Structure 1
């Protein structure tokens, strides 16, 4: 039963992403407007955190199986892949900002209702991708640290890490929207820091950053806890009862 639920959930995530792409293409074909390629790119980028989370889990398990009893290499891989996950995680959260309708022109023939459905689907796909990716990471971290005795509820430290990732993700969205940085710019951290410091010097900019990150982070934390906690408790409870 749990396997079927996971399969249906996975298909639902895939369907939501595909539907977002379909709506973007239909908008262009049905009303003869320019295909808004940045949206298509953003949908693709928003799936990267899921792929990185899977790569982190599978890679760590393979390394552990290859050399039982030796954890130095698996831990090193886990740290590096974890950093990559944090760097690319904002790509999923970023789709929230599509709700500003920056793609829409005043003379567009596209009905407003269609753009509302399209942007809402796009935003939801990003949020769902973020939740799924982070859920993979949090669950694996709990299991990895538990060493065989999985807690019935997520421990506090896993929530702290999760909250930190969400806040950093929202900060990444701010950097992307305001300073046009992307995940690859993490390879030049001093450039990012210097430009951010210069940007925040004018009065009111720091307040804007705090409000932007705070508002988005609270929304994502509420949504994430609302989805992850009951699923974790139900799945782990089922597993413990079955065992």
Structure 2
């Protein structure tokens, strides 16, 4: 079940990339590079998370002290968190702003393109959050599926999805990038300057809350059955052992 989820998300990203790349030669128009760049940035958190798993799990297996394991996990986790809004950011591609006047590309193609692009971002975001919850529970010493349906997991998921939604707002409306964290003073000044604008605080809160609810519903639809399946399988195994 988990394998199908991961493969499905990866294939959706491949499909989105194929549509973006094929658009240029098929319809003899320019390659819209910003879409391709945003798609690459969308997948970046999964790459970092994969690196974290490759580094952290062996440390646990060989018995490295928990503080050292947590130190490595925290550093990689912060990098992952900074990159995570790039996945959800693809929902802001749901427009046809990339089309030129007299564009020879059929409108149906571009509608499908932006839809697939947005959905790839949503699916990637959801998968990222779920895998991070798995990693945190494993690092915390849990080796059963039951905690995935527990309060701790729900709190982690909720906090991450709120941060994702707020990060998307900062990216779209304040025009911030993940790497702007290298200049924290400028970043804070830019955010505060934006929030002082008329209605900016209300817009930020509204977008963040509604965006978090949207991602939470998608999370429920996608991850809920996976978690329930894992818990049920574990219960069956325990009852037959």
TM-score over 0.5 (shorter chain): yes
- The within-5 A match list for 1:192-231 is 192-231=187-226
Moved over 6 A (4+): none
Counterpart secondary structure, 1:47: helix
Cα distance, 1:69–1:21 mapped onto 2, change above 3 Å: closer
Using the size of structure 1 for normalisation, the TM-score is 0.90
2:180 is matched with 185
1:53 is matched with 49
Does residue 133 in structure 1 map to residue 128 in structure 2? yes
CA distance in 1, matches of 2:114, 2:57: 38
Using the size of structure 2 for normalisation, the TM-score is 0.91
Q: Mind listing any 5+ residue stretches in structure 1 that lack a counterpart?
A: none
CA distance in 1, matches of 2:67, 2:139: 14
CA distance in 1, matches of 2:64, 2:124: 34
Between 1:143-152 and 1:87-96, the stretch displaced more is: 143-152
Cα distance, 1:57–1:107 mapped onto 2, change above 3 Å: same
CA distance in 1, matches of 2:4, 2:208: 33
1:34 is matched with 30
RMSD value, Cα: 1.8
* 1:163-212 superposed Cα distances (whole Å, 9 cap, x missing partner): 11111111111111122211111222222111111111122111111122
CA distance in 2, matches of 1:130, 1:136: 10
1:21 is matched with 17
Does residue 44 in structure 1 map to residue 12 in structure 2? no
